[in-house]
Chain A
């Protein structure tokens, strides 16, 4: 936590000058002395609370440059969020922050459940998108010579990419049960193991979801999409644990060096997307009806206690359960492929943990010494509960919740744990990935998919994608350095590193 005071002052004055020149945000920007790598934009009307950014000076410089040069700026989006009614403490950005729509990606905002608002952009269209890690009993040596078979097996068995359909074709009644019942409903249908459920955030189901709040169009779109990976930055990856940083947490998580993990990233598929589509006009009307001034049209929202807000939240919970069910189905299918190719029993492939990073969830947090009921929006941010929280599975409770952070198909991913300081500073939230540094269009121009495949193969990583541009657009060089953003969050004390994992085989949508 040591600070170079002279350097800080120079940085502070440079940043303040930059902001003053902008006349977009005229607030002062200063490093908070209580924590390293935390910057605050003080609240001035119409901001209701400050904006706080967890990043280093290099990251802050990049964000300030974007504010001047780019039409969509993460910093402007973050300060816009501070304007929403009922926001508590501060709008927060994690080190992987980058521009989204309305909210920045890597953004966290908590609202008082009585006086606050629920915002569509704070949840996003991929409701409850998240990551599941499976731990296998395999070590790196056992995979030698099997990598190609794993690549082909996962490519053939796991429906991915635009237009793919799942093995389940659901009638509306079955889908409604999934929207209410989440992952346990999928286990009840015979897919996956009952013990998976304990290691999913929320146990794989959020109560008080209402299928009636979800449109017929959303359900029609989802009919064949349970058990599909999707596209974009969604993936399934076979990985090896490269390094352990925290032996006691690793022991609690049941992981050790050289062990093989399988991690995948996906969300609520078409049903979640359609909930966003359907509620966009509804929340825009609500924003007008309740006289809420929003600085960006995508920040449409409704008071949490209004009929529109309650209806949207019931739909969001249904969307979240759809994502839990989707990941449970995929876990089952991936487990089958790994077990078949590696000739091991399916039961030996266990769920390490599943985290969510596009959510608005009701949680209790202590704010300024008072315990309050809050609706925490995490848009591209992972819940990262520290030790002792009852929501964390008993086996992990002593060390804190596992936080899964995806790198790129060519760089390291991380298993982290939540900390006590994170509970105080970020409502128990942390980063979710490397964060994009370059647009898809730019990446598509800079790289070719076959070139990426070759370069990664030379480094011992096998990749294959369903979409023709996916590998170029998802090129490792199009992302920020995951190692750096993890290190910043660790130095800030928001998370603690447990393990670093290296990609071996990766399938993209």
Chain B
């Protein structure tokens, strides 16, 4: 998955890239999931729906990352993958929904990583080229 972590002294910059907005968002979310847990140790046993909205693709990205962080606490799951179902734009509002795959926390099997407090608007950027979309923000660790 084409995501990159960017150097930031206290926190971590995250950039997701893909041919489409859907793929770029999925890449970014994968970057988040890989920070939280070694996703190789998590089985995709159950599906959890998430949705988010923003005023543009960049704030939509941040809102979706934060929705994923929230679902981890609410469900008590670790997730290993995320798929976008749909992105639409209505009246200047961007909305996305998708499915997280994962299972309940099992400390005997799951190799725990970072607790990400939030995705922030810092360093927020959306690059929109015909064959390449890129989304970036700073995660508060």
Contacts and interface: CB of A to CB of B under 8 A. Distances in A.
Contacts of A231: 114-115
A270 B140 CA distance: 12
A142 interface: no
A65 to B, nearest CB: 13
Contact of A273 (B54, B74, B117): B117
A298 B122 contact: yes
A284 interface: yes
A121 B122 contact: yes
B42 to A, nearest CB: 11
B112 A466 contact: yes
A57 interface: no
A28 B121 CA distance: 30
A186 B59 CA distance: 37
Interface in B1-50: 5-13, 36-38
Contacts of B86: none
A277 interface: yes
Contact of B5 (A101, A165, A438, A441): A441
Given A98-B9, A125-B120, A281 B54 contact: yes
Interface stretch (A217-225, A342-350, A488-496): A217-225
Interface centre among B12, B112, B117 (most CB of A within 10 A): B117
A72 interface: yes
B74 A161 contact: no
A105 B74 CA distance: 29
A221 B7 CA distance: 29
A297 B62 CA distance: 12
B9 A438 contact: yes
Interface of A is mostly: loop
Interface centre among B9, B70, B111 (most CB of A within 10 A): B9
Contact of B38 (A165, A225, A274, A468): A468
- How big is the A interface, by class? 35 or more
Contact of B111 (A99, A441, A468): A468
Contacts of B55: 281, 284
A467 B112 contact: yes
A438 to B, nearest CB: 7
A402 interface: no
Interface string A178-222: 000000000000000000000000000000000000000100110
Interface of A: 70-72, 98-102, 105, 121, 124-126, 161-163, 165, 217, 220-221, 224-225, 230-232, 270, 273-274, 276-277, 280-281, 284, 296-298, 300, 436-442, 466-469, 473, 509
**3 tightest A-B contacts by CB?**
A101-B122, A231-B115, A298-B122
Given A71-B13, A162-B114, A220-B74, 7 more contacts: A100-B122, A101-B120, A163-B110, A273-B69, A273-B118, A274-B70, A441-B5
24 contacts: A70-B7, A72-B123, A99-B9, A99-B10, A101-B138, A161-B112, A162-B72, A162-B112, A162-B113, A221-B70, A231-B114, A231-B115, A232-B117, A232-B141, A273-B117, A276-B120, A277-B70, A277-B119, A280-B120, A281-B55, A284-B55, A440-B114, A467-B114, A468-B111
